[in-house]
Chain A
Amino acid sequence: MKVRYSYLPQQFSKCDDLWIRLKVLVKSGDFTLGKPLKIFEKKFSKLIGTRYAVGVNSGTDAIKLPLKAIGIKPGDEIITAANTFVATVGAITELGAKPIFVDCDNTFCMNVDLIEKKITKKTKAIVPVHFAGYMTNMPKLIKLAKKYNIPIIEDACQSILANINGKNAGTWGIAGSFSLHPLKNINVWADGGIITTNNKNLYRKLILLRNHGLIDRDTVKICGYNSRLDTFQAVVGNWLLPQAKSISNQRIKNANFLDKEFSKIKEIIVPYRPKNFKIVYHLYIVFSEKRDQLYKFCLSKGIEAKIHYPTPIYLQEAYKYLKYKKGDFKVTDEHCKKIISFPCDQHLNNKQLKYIVNTVKSFFK
């Protein structure tokens, strides 16, 4: 049996109504900042529960633009997670700011207790990363940020519709950053991102920043970027958005099944699942001491397992200049050796899920 990681061909195999909508768009020629984009932004902000949403070119830009908007400049320090995908850090360094890493805890997210001692006069923002569909401990983080008056920009790229006590990712900080990349839970057919916020001033600034800083066709108010979500992709998004809740519910159901079965295998450790968290399982990750062998075994059995990510960002060549060294982030390092990701998406069937479990079982036998 084959259990593929990417379900994209399946996901869009029956979408005749979407094709009709795309034909309408192509006929209209409304390709840049068009009407479907405005509709998508409205629907998305409603889904997440913020006043505004701004469609941009990628999840990376969804982090970069709010940072730029709150005035981040060269020399500033920004606290973020040591175990994130490169894009979070790329967005920070692109603005000339310095990423200050914090180790994660057993939820894969930043250990909020470790943040305070990293705060300096130069700290201008905190970017918690809601990794793999989890969430950073936002109630605690909000308290800390208030104490020091530091704005929070949530990297929610992997956690659309995740929540703590019913409050969604992307509604806690001054801005929430989402990715619509084809591999995300809500996915368009290309790079794409969207920013949520309740702050009107920030919203206005983001609208300028994504479109060359133009207040009208001829006047440039601030130096901006070219980072617009294609209207074409907004049409895809509008088609997909009504399915958002059922997508995350199905993922949760699959994850619960895997959790239950994996916890019967003593060589597999299922991560901590806090009760008041809604985890949306963008990635389904468990721990194994024999990760490398297990990984190879699964691949040989047709299961496309993955590792997110084998080399932590602070040890990448690009960030050598920050002078971190191996051992600086013990939990992250531990995770890197043990983590393995299994398919968990909404298009898997029961047989495939059981096959994953049985394959892992047979490996340890």
Chain B
Amino acid sequence: MKIPYVDLSYKNKSINNLISIFKNILKKGQFVGGEEVDIFEKKIAKFCGTKYAVALNSGTDALTLALHLLGVTRGDEVITSPNSFIASTSVIVHLGAKPVFVDVLKDQNIDPSKIEKAITKKTKVIMPVHLSGRMCRMDEIMLIAKKNNISVVEDAAQAIGSKYKNKLSGSYGHFGCFSAHPLKNLNALGDSGYLTTNNFRHYKKIKSLSNHGMENRNVVKNFGYVSRMDNIQAAFLNYKINNLSSIIDKRRENFLVYSKYLDRKNVFFIDEREDEFNTYHTFVVQVNLRDKLKNYLLKKKISTSIHYPIPIHLQPASKYLGYKKGDFIVTEEQSKKIITLPINENLNIEQIKYICRNINQFYKNL
């Protein structure tokens, strides 16, 4: 049985739907900004339970604009976790600020008990990353932030629809930043992202910042960026958002199949806690002999992935920050053990059982 890690191809019926959506846009000739973008912003704000949303060019840009607006600049510090995708750190660096890493918990999310020690006078923002569709412990984080008068930007790129204590991702912090990259649960046909907020003033400012800082066609209020969601991608997302809940449900079902058939003696993962609602953007488990397992599965035609094998603080680009091996023990340990198993909504039960059988077999063979 051949199991790809992801399957982004669209089938004929949905392709025809898409083409008619695009033709509609073409007729109006409105490609940059436009009706579909406005509709998407309303829909996604409603979905996330926030007052406002702004559609942008990427999840990376959502983080950049949020930090920029909160005044993050040269010399400031932003606290985040070192096991994320590189984008959450590079946005901090590009603003001239310093990323300050805090190690993670067993569930790969930032450890709130270690945040306070990392706070200095220069700390402007805490940026928790909801890795793999599981949310950070936002109540504790918000409390720490409030106590220290620091803003919170949620990197929710992987966590649309995830909940913690019954509250949705993107609705806890000052901003929630999301990606709609093709690999995400709510995915466009190219780079796209969006940001949520409850603050009207922030909302207005982000809108302008994403469009050259322009107030109208001729007046530039502040220096800005070009980060607009394509109208055509917005149209596509408006079509896809209707299926988002069922996509999440299917991924959650897939997780249950895994948890039933994987032999926990060899495979470590944390079940959903009672106060969580996980959306399984990825399904990351921790194992011994990770690389061998990965090769074994590949021979069985099962594609897997690793998110991420080199922690950010050990990347060549981070050298200047002066971190070294051993600085974040949990992250570093995990980076050797983590492997991401396919969990996308197009998989069927038989395929997942096949994956589980092969993993269990691998460890039996040892």
Contacts and interface: CB of A to CB of B under 8 A. Distances in A.
Which of B61, B218, B221, B306 has the largest count of A CB atoms less than 10 A from its CB?
Answer: B218
Given A26-B10, A213-B90, A233-B190, A222 B22 contact: no
Given A22-B22, A27-B10, A74-B74, A225 B190 contact: no
Given A190-B231, A191-B228, A317 B32 contact: no
A86 interface: yes
Nearest to A228: B191
B189 A232 contact: yes
B19 A220 contact: no
Given A32-B182, A318-B213, A318-B220, A218 B230 contact: no
A9 B181 contact: no
Interface string A221-235: 111111010111100
Nearest to A27: B9
Interface stretch (B199-207, B274-282, B310-318): B310-318
Interface string B56-84: 01111100000000000010000000000
Interface string B330-364: 00000000000000000000000000000000000
Interface in B210-230: 212-214, 218-226, 228, 230
Nearest to A10: B29
Contacts of A309: 218
Interface in B262-321: 306, 308-310, 312, 315-318
B310 A90 contact: no
Size bracket, chain B contacts: 35 or more
Interface string A9-29: 101110000010011001111
A181 interface: yes
A317 B309 CA distance: 46
Interface in A33-73: 57-61
A328 interface: no
B15 A220 contact: no
B106 to A, nearest CB: 22
B226 A61 contact: yes
Contacts of A89: 223
Interface in A85-107: 86-87, 89-90, 93-94, 96
A8 interface: yes
Contacts, number: 172
A214 interface: yes
Given A29-B8, A32-B181, A32-B191, A317 B18 contact: no
A28 B89 CA distance: 31
A103 B214 CA distance: 23
B212 A90 contact: yes
Contact of A6 (B29, B190, B306): B29
A225 B9 contact: no
Given A9-B26, A29-B9, A317 B220 contact: yes
B212 A220 contact: no
Given A218-B309, A225-B60, A29 B10 contact: yes
A212 B223 contact: no
Interface residues of A, number: 60
B31 interface: yes
A316 interface: yes
A285 to B, nearest CB: 16
A82 to B, nearest CB: 14
A242 interface: no
A263 interface: no
Contact of B90 (A29, A181, A223, A311): A223
Interface in A168-208: 181-182, 189-191
Contacts of B260: none
Contacts of B32: 181-182, 190-191
Interface string A113-147: 00000000000000000000000000000000000
Contacts of A316: 219-220
A221 B189 contact: no
A189 B31 contact: yes
A58 B31 CA distance: 13
Given A22-B19, A29-B9, A223-B94, A190 B86 contact: no
B150 interface: no
A220 to B, nearest CB: 4
Given A31-B182, A213-B90, A231-B190, A190 B8 contact: no
Given A223-B90, A230-B189, A9 B28 contact: yes
Nearest to B73: A96
A47 B359 CA distance: 52
Complex A-B, nearest 9 residue pairs according to Cβ-Cβ distance, in ascending order: A29-B8, A8-B29, A230-B190, A190-B230, A226-B60, A316-B220, A29-B9, A220-B315, A9-B29
